[in-house]
């Protein structure tokens, strides 16, 4: 994994449209991704789950009552179920119980209607997109704008999906290959909280990979398949070295990089960026949200490094640190 060209010297951060322009359109819809691109995002970020027929679709969770109108469809009432997903009991409707054709009869709705009030105007209008549709959109929008739009897909609950016979890796590799999206010719970075998922992908396809880490420096699975060592803290120097054996970078919770005290005040940066760069890893941080007041509401992402407003705290700090790599 010597080619780190997804990272670049730049006078502005790399902007990843998290779930699309999700502050302005219901997340993970083509309309949200399109707006993110039009606002200047370099990448769009589809979270991926599987349908019953093994098609990858963009949803943050496989349980979809909060992000679609499924509960208003009487024909699907009997599909409501309670399942244990990664140790948590979840009740609702699940993508793996719907074929793609059935899922396409649903419409997206705003996940956080109280926070993103204006987004509710779009409820009931947009479909749940497939990964292929996201790729097509990025290509077409990029072509129209004379720039390349990256895709930053995240595999959600890969161990769970494998346990029900719907492993995410195979369909993901199939789609990437069919679209010629490999390291050589595309700005694609696949991210996951599960180390085993990325290690498997690393064996299957030559594409950039990013290990997600939470604020405590942990992946979600903690399992180091096929390796005798287990790092409780993958953000340590040793853990980052190990990650560099299968991935190109880390996607770190921003508080892993710049921690906060109990009152929420930002503290001095940790050594994570330095240590990751020593291993040749790119570093991307998540997530900056308008409603958390990390950015002024009218800030146009990625286009104006001198943006006005109170952009003096987290964004500026991250900008100075050059956390895009």
- Applying CB under 6 A, the residues found at the interface with ligand G3P are 18, 45, 47, 60, 154, 191, 212, 251, 286-287
Of 154 and 314, CB closest to Ca ion: 154
Contact assessment for residue 288 and residue 257, using Cβ atoms and an 8 Å cutoff: no
251 contacts which partner out of ligand G3P, Ca ion, none, CB within 5 to 8 A by kind?
ligand G3P
Of 102 and 283, CB closest to ligand G3P: 283
Contact assessment for residue 108 and residue 28, using Cβ atoms and an 8 Å cutoff: yes
**Least CB distance from residue 77 to ligand G3P, whole Å?**
29
Contact assessment for residue 41 and residue 13, using Cβ atoms and an 8 Å cutoff: no
How far is 42 from 250, CA to CA, in rounded Å? Answer: 17
Of 179 and 287, CB closest to ligand G3P: 287
Tokens representing 86 are 């990664």
Buried-state track 202-215, b at ≥16 Cβ within 10 A, e below 16 = beebebbbbbbbee
**Least CB distance from residue 308 to ligand G3P, whole Å?**
27
- The region of 45-53, 119-127, 270-278, 302-310 touching Ca ion under the rule CB under 5 A is 45-53
116 contacts which partner out of Ca ion, ligand G3P, none, CB within 5 to 8 A by kind?
none
**Least CB distance from residue 73 to ligand G3P, whole Å?**
26
Strands 47-50 and 81-85: unpaired
Name residues whose C-beta falls within 8 Å of residue 234's C-beta, 6 or more positions apart in sequence.
195, 211, 213, 217, 218, 219, 240, 242, 243
Of 71 and 287, CB closest to ligand G3P: 287
* Window 141-180: contact mask with Ca ion (x via CB under 5 A): -------------x--------------------------
Please select the residue that binds Ca ion; options are 27, 47, 110, 141, rule is CB under 5 A.
Answer: 47
Residue 61 touching Ca ion (CB under 5 A): no
Element (H, E) at 56: strand 56-58
Judged by CB under 5 A, the number of residues near Ca ion is 2
Of 154 and 324, CB closest to ligand G3P: 154
286 contacts which partner out of ligand G3P, Ca ion, none, CB within 5 to 8 A by kind?
ligand G3P
Of 270 and 287, CB closest to ligand G3P: 287
C-alpha distance from residue 49 to each of 78, 83, 243, 292, 311 (Å): 21, 15, 24, 27, 35
Contact assessment for residue 283 and residue 249, using Cβ atoms and an 8 Å cutoff: yes
Of 35, 38, 44, the C-alpha closest to 15 is: 44
Residue ranges binding Ca ion (CB under 5 A): 47, 154
């Amino acid at each position: 994994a010597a080619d780190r060209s997804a990272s670049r010297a730049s006078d502005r951060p790399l902007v990843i449209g998290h779930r699309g322009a999700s502050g302005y359109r219901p997340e993970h819809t083509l309309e949200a991704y399109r707006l993110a691109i039009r606002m200047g995002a370099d990448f769009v970020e589809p979270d991926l789950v599987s349908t019953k027929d093994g098609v990858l679709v963009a949803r943050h969770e496989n349980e979809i009552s909060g992000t679609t109108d499924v509960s208003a469809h009487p024909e699907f009432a009997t599909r409501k179920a309670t399942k244990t997903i990664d140790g948590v009991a979840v009740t609702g409707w699940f993508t793996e119980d719907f074929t793609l054709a059935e899922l396409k009869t649903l419409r997206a709705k705003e996940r956080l209607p109280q926070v993103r009030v204006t987004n509710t105007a779009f409820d009931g209008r947009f479909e749940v997109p497939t990964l292929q549709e996201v790729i097509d959109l990025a290509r077409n929008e990029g072509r129209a704008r004379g720039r390349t739009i990256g895709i930053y897909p995240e595999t959600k609950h890969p161990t769970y999906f494998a346990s029900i016979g719907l492993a995410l890796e195979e369909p993901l590799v199939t789609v990437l290959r069919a679209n010629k999206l490999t390291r050589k010719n595309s700005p694609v970075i696949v991210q996951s909280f599960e180390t085993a998922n990325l290690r498997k992908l690393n064996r299957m396809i030559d594409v950039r990979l990013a290990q997600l880490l939470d604020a405590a420096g942990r992946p979600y699975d903690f399992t180091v398949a096929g390796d005798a060592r287990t790092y409780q803290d993958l953000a340590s120097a040793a853990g980052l070295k190990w990650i560099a054996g299968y991935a190109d970078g880390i996607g770190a919770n921003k508080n892993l990089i710049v921690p906060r005290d109990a009152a929420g005040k930002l503290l001095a940066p940790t050594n994570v960026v330095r240590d990751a760069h020593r291993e040749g890893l790119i570093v991307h941080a998540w997530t900056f949200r308008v409603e958390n007041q990390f950015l002024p509401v009218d800030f146009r992402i990625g286009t104006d490094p001198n943006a006005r407003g109170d952009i003096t705290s987290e964004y500026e700090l991250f900008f100075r640190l050059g956390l895009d790599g």
